[in-house]
């Protein structure tokens, strides 16, 4: 059983959306379809590193918006 359901969900949705769909200009040539991680992170107002960790399953307990982790 896959234990990274959040990562699978994030990847699938990131690949299904194009930069133009969310009002972004495409950043150069794309090797894969969909948004880049940096674009999703920018739209979500989180760091690219944080988004990458979520997608890769390396951060299981994200903090609530507006609250700093203890």
Average pLDDT of the chain, as a whole number: 83
What band does 70 get if pLDDT is binned at 50, 70 and 90? Answer: low
* Residues 54/10, Cβ–Cβ less than 8 Å: yes
Whether the Cβ atoms of residue 27 and residue 39 lie closer than 8 Å to each other: yes
The answer, as to whether pTM is greater than 0.75, is no
H-state helical runs in the chain:
5-16, 37-44, 48-56
Q: Residue 62: its pLDDT value, please? A: 59
CB neighbours of residue 53 within 10 Å: 16
Phi, psi of 43 (to 5 degrees): -65, -35
pLDDT 10s digits, 15-46: 999 888 999 887 677 777 799 999 999 999 99
For residues 26 and 20, the answer to whether their CB atoms sit within 8 Å is: yes
């Amino acid at each position: 059983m896959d234990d990274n359901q959040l990562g699978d969900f994030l990847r699938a949705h990131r690949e299904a959306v194009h930069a133009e769909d969310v009002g972004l200009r495409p950043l150069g040539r794309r090797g894969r379809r969909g948004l880049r991680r940096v674009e999703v992170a920018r739209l979500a107002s989180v760091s690219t590193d944080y988004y990458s960790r979520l997608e890769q399953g390396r951060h299981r307990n994200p903090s609530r918006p507006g609250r700093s982790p203890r």
